[in-house]
Amino acid sequence: MSKVKERAWVQLHTLISSATNAKARRNAKAAGMSLSRFVAALIESGEVVTAIDDLRPELRELNAWSGRLNSNINMLARHANKYRQDARSDLILIRLNELREDLRLITKKANSLQPKRGKPRND
């Protein structure tokens, strides 16, 4: 049985946008590092956010609620722009306040899904 010697260095290929490439090169230059060294430092010491499969349904639900809120705000804006002087501003304000409360609840739910720094998320 022969032992395979592990190579000290390997080449990493990745596909990123031109803008991301330019930003990475600028950041590496500002840090006084080569791009390779900069990427290695990010991998070694950077914080990585991983998606947790059991959260996907909750995240989809939050995304759907965000879309509904966006739709409602757009409808209110269209109504206000279309009817201008005849628009019932009191009713629009009431609905905007309801939407603000919905947004507060969505934000609270989203924040509860995030792990706190230094504390692992309890599944």
As a whole-number percent, the residues of the chain with pLDDT over 70 amount to: 86
Q: What sign for the dihedral angle of Cα 51, 52, 55, 60?
A: positive
In a domain, 118, yes or no: no
Measured between alpha carbons, how far is 83 from 108 in angstroms, rounded to an integer? 34
| 46 against 69, higher pLDDT | 69
Which long-range CB contacts under 8 A does 65-73 form with residues at least 24 apart?
65/102, 65/106, 66/106, 69/99, 69/102, 69/103, 69/106, 72/99, 73/99
45 and 59 inside one domain: no
pLDDT of residue 59: 85
> What's the structural domain count of the chain?
2
User: What is the band of 7 on the pLDDT scale with cuts at 50, 70, 90?
Assistant: confident
Residue 14 counted as domain residue: no
4 in any annotated domain = no
Dist. CA 11–CA 117, nearest whole Å:
33
Domain span holding position 46: 21-50
Q: Record the pTM.
A: 0.50
Say whether both 107 and 86 belong to one domain: yes
